[in-house]
Structure 1
Amino acid sequence: MTESEFLTLTDGIFTRIEAALDEAELDLDCLKMGNVLEIEFDSGEKVVVNRHVPNQELWIAAKSGGFHFALRDGQWLAARDGKEFGATLSAVVSHAAGCDFVFAV
């Protein structure tokens, strides 16, 4: 995949994350700055979604740890344990928000 294709694809994912957070009506601030989407909850806890262009990966940083995802066979899967991006984002946001949140890529 070219860099341009990667950026277009991940721009769409960032947009869908922001829309899902808006729909969930959670108490948070969401700020996109270039390659980073920072989600800050009223509790002060943060979840950061970052796209790493050189490796063509999506990264999630949360209190519970850092996770790196690469696109394999149409799914964003974690390098370490094979977990799917949407499931991991759902879990870390649910934990930070203190309520259920579901995001599907």
Structure 2
Amino acid sequence: MKIDNSIKSTGQVSGENRTRETRAASTAPAQSGTQVALSAGLQKYEAVLAQSPVVDSAKVEEIKSAIANGSFSVNPEKVADGLIESVRSMLSAQPGTAA
């Protein structure tokens, strides 16, 4: 069976060019004069988040130590419950789905 590559172009941008264009648009500097203002409540939360560490280093070290000395145990029921809850959360966040 021979594959026919004679399909005529419809003027659409190819995937590679579209990716380049998207990349260029996302790295373009913002227009001058554009301003974003956060409400006082959001500014408060932004300040709290900026001061909070992304990773709890003490907890990471505790887990590493428990793994190293063989005392780390996994509660499969807790892991399963967490997975189910995260899937429920993701499904309820999707528009058009009932949870």
Instruction: Sort the TM-score into its range (normalised by shorter chain).
Output: under 0.3
**Greater Rg, structure 1 or structure 2?**
2
**Higher strand content, 1 or 2:** 1
In terms of fraction of residues, the more helix-rich structure is: 2
TM-score after normalising by structure 2 = 0.22
TM-score by length of 1: 0.21
